[in-house]
Amino acid sequence: VARTRIIDRASIIRVALQIADESGLQSVTLQAVAKRLGVTAMSLYGHIDNKAALLDGVVEELLAEFALPDADLPWRERLSRIGRAARDSARRHPDVFPLLLNRAAATPGAHRVREAVHAALRDAGLTGDDVYRAERLLTTMIVGFATSEVSGRFTQSAADVEADYVYLERLLTRMIAIASEPDEGDPAPSAGPAVESA
């Protein structure tokens, strides 16, 4: 009757993410997405290339939703908030978030988050390749932690997981402090000799 386009790429991806959050990734099926949109599965092909592209879009949507802190805040506070935001995102999207570790972070959304981390690290005093290296390590650890937390790999109490996270955050803060020392970013021999034992 009406010639209004019923669906578009954005609504397809939004619904797919919704289904993943509610019922898991394996419930994200072209027919399920189409049904919720009141349309047949075949019509989705007018807006997406195939299912793999749909899942790429879902991950990108998760990244797009990712709230970045105000750039005026001190760098330490910014990094701390980004870490918390990652864990929040993982909790909100427990089936989709883990995909972040499995794909090349080459999408616009990934770039945007990465840039925010770079900026904070530069403000922390890192320069050159140290910025990129620290970002990679830091992001890998945060995403790895949040994924573990949300997929049941950590079996301790919530309070213990929180304690682990605080510990991890301190460790990363130290990494940044060491990397920003004038004598180049080597976390090697400073305080005492490493502990040897039987």
Partner DNA sequence: ACCTGAACACCGTTCAAGT
Residues in the chain: 198
Judged by CB under 8 A, the number of residues near a copy of itself is 55
The residues, ordered by sequence, that sit 6+ positions from 32 with a Cβ below 8 Å of its Cβ are: 19
Which C-beta is closer to a copy of itself: that of 43 or that of 132? 132
| Spatial contact of 147 and 99, defined as CB atoms under 8 Å apart | no
Near DNA in 42-81, by CB under 7 A? 42-43, 45-47, 50-52
Question: Does position 194 bind a copy of itself by CB under 8 A?
Answer: yes
| Spatial contact of 16 and 37, defined as CB atoms under 8 Å apart | no
- In whole angstroms, give the CA distance from residue 59 to residue 96: 7
Among a copy of itself, DNA, none, residue 151 binds (CB under 5-8 Å by kind): a copy of itself
Which is nearest to 122 in space by CA: 62, 161, 192, 71? 71
Question: Does position 5 bind DNA by CB under 7 A?
Answer: yes
Q: What tokens does 19 get? A: 């289904």
Among a copy of itself, DNA, none, residue 103 binds (CB under 5-8 Å by kind): a copy of itself
Judged by CB under 7 A, the number of residues near DNA is 20
Which C-beta is closer to DNA: that of 40 or that of 151? 40
- In whole angstroms, give the CA distance from residue 196 to residue 198: 7
Answer left, alpha or beta for residue 154, where phi above 0 means left and psi between -120 and 50 means alpha.
beta
Whole-number minimum distance, CB 82 to a copy of itself, in Å? Answer: 16
The residues, ordered by sequence, that sit 6+ positions from 46 with a Cβ below 8 Å of its Cβ are: none
- In whole angstroms, give the CA distance from residue 91 to residue 163: 17
Q: Provide the mask over 48-77, with x wherever binding to a copy of itself is found by CB under 8 A and - wherever it is not.
A: --------------------------xxx-
Among a copy of itself, DNA, none, residue 80 binds (CB under 5-8 Å by kind): none
Residues that bind DNA (CB under 7 A): 5-7, 28-32, 34, 39-43, 45-47, 50-52
Residues that bind a copy of itself (CB under 8 A): 74-76, 98, 101-106, 123-125, 132-133, 136-137, 140-141, 143-145, 147-148, 151-156, 163-164, 167-168, 170-171, 173-177, 180-181, 185-188, 190-192, 194-198
